A and B are shown apart, each in its own frame.
Chain A
Amino acid sequence: MSLLAALTRAYDRLPDAPPYGFSTEKIGFCVVLETDGRVAEVIDLRGDDKKRSPRMLLVPQAVKRTAGIAPNFLWDKSAYVLGVTAGEGKRTAEEHAKFREKHLDWLADTTDPGLLALCRFLESWDPASFAAPQWQDEARDQNLVFRLSGEFTFLHDRPAARTLWREIGAEGASDPQICLVTCTPGPVARLHPSIKGVWGAQSSGASLISFNLDAFTSYGHDQGDNAPVSEAAAFAYTTALNRFLEKDSGHRIQIGDASTVFWADAPDDAAEEAENLFSAFFDPAGDEKLAAAKIKDKLDAIRSGTRLTEVAPNLAQGVRFHVLGLAPNAARLSVRFYWTSDFGTLTAHYQRYLQDTEVQPPPRDGWPPLWRYLIELAVQGKRENVPPLIAGEWMRAILTGAPYPLTLLSTTLMRLRADGEVSPLRAAILKSILIRNFKSKEAPVALDPANTNKGYMLGRLFAVYEEVQRAALGGNVNATIKDKFYGAASATPQKVYRTLDAGAQNHFSKLRKQSPGRAVNLEKLLTAITDLMEPGNDPYPASLTAAEQALFGLGYYHQRSDFFRKHDDKTPEVTE
């Protein structure tokens, strides 16, 4: 099933989906009209909260405004409805004129008293009469709707308005063609409704399907005719997608620059449970949230490697799961990844990802969310510096169980060379790439003293040199050998190891005077590592491959954490 078809199906499952041709919009005020078009009163519809957030009302679907002036049907912002804005508004007068003209045109044949009242109002309205006490200043730039005095339904909810809207709604569509989503003939959407809420895209919304430059068009087709999607299908997929992209919809997580939405095709309870589990997989929520969703035990069981058929048999079979990653590119949206399969497969792939990234000692807070890993790849650890594409590619690889993108390795190595910070997260990334892409059996979870891979041994050796320096000179060295040599040692060992060795001898001679026991211990460790090296096999090669550099990082991480662990073991003895 294609992406659009899946979203169209998801629309049918939405619990309170707006009907075709309508959308939920933020409305601030309601203008109450007398039948002769005079304004009876203006009602504030906004909530009581601090931000006075506007009420979400179901109104005729907003038109797509780009550069042109186009009014909405029976509602709009104050510039269109009244010709009034808070700012300068160069085209306010034009916008209001258009609103008036269009509505008088649309409503020309109506006999409905409510719609006639609007006609009278538009004919007689003068923007200058926008004044207190009737009009509050806060109504500027809010969206306005209308109501007839003495009645409770809004003008756009009147049956006459709804009938009229159905006729108007079909105006913009082009000739009937076969729809590539539903495969039934119907009027084709020229411009698709905007998708809002994608991180980094324009706040007014961006398009998933658009043909805004002529290099994108084929066979002389214009706009939506390039990919015939019926009005109904276009409405359905955008409504579903917009709903999923809303904040706190329970259907979205942010992974790098990819706004990721997910949904399940299943009976309601199972779907919700699967969605909760998925969001906890990649963006662990607080304990309360997990408890509220009643998934804590199941999540723990899945993380410890129990098969889904045992944890939640209802999810293992027949729950189709969809994951879609969207990222902005110029004014368009681009699909970073779209994955669909059943939830059992997804869980198995997630467990494999956990297994691959396992390192000893583990990161401090257990199950770091994916974005924490991604930040390790960003310059200065800033979220906006995460290299684009990597997040999406990586996520795709995790979901499909495929090899990881090799750019992940090169980026991690580049960050390591730049700042030399071998964090548990970076070690985990290195290890998982070694296992997945290089089928490396030499990438151990914890310190492996018998490992004879060159990269791994050199990494350990480097950690020992650093420890010797620390033992001799204390922790307050301005630039340690790690700061100075990590990059060179991991990439071109031959150039630096002789220098390091010479330096270490000086440190040893100092250390022997201060604490001879520690010097002996470190020297033993050093020989234990160098004994593993075979002189014939060139222990200090001119360069290391990317995979060996990854093992270097892992070896360094293991050996160095080992010092800290031993250190921890000793402290109680001292205090006794």
Chain B
Amino acid sequence: MFQKILTSALFAGFCAGLLAAALQFVFVQPVLLHAELYEGGDLVHFGGEAVSATPELPGFNPMRDGLSLLFSALIYVGYGLILVGAMALAAERGVTITARSGLIWGLAGFIVVHFAPAASLPPEVPGVAYTDLTLRQIWWWGTVIATAAGLGLIAFGRGWGAWGAAVILLLAPHVIGAPHPESFTGPVPPELASLFASRALAVGMAAWAMLGLFAGHFWASDDNAQA
């Protein structure tokens, strides 16, 4: 069983990680590099004077971008192991896993680790104001766990008790609230910050859709191979 989870997760995670890295290089990295020009003080923006929105950005950096590729693959292999583990648990209880249902699992995963945390703590472009890192990491994990439990209860729970508990779990992290800075001191234009957040979410959604699709496909084809 462990080997079956591992192979499905490795293949699915690696493919999704490569796709995420490719999308990141095209759509997210230019926004990040642009923001770093403000973070480092090369560009200054206070809303009063116009600043060019299309500065010259640093080009391809083999070391930096190679490490991004590596860590992207690593993170999605990690996510793949968690996702396929959850699929295996459901399969043990009689749920059929296919590539098509895998897509829904993947989109649920996207909501759990990207969308729900982003609702109160949007993906940060470098150079924005921030508060204590540990507090934000604790809030991030709490939100991920509560959202996963909430979606699990909606998908597999029976009756209003389970669904009511799900709504509470989904809302609680946002009612409690994420740690935010007391004042805004970041030098980055809000246009860049919002573009960064939406691009990061879009790439995360595409990568998780692929992760779920591949995980479901490899899991189901492993079943067929054994049958």
A binds B: no
Interface residues of chain B, those whose CB is within 8 Å of chain A, are none
A residues with CB within 8 A of B:
none
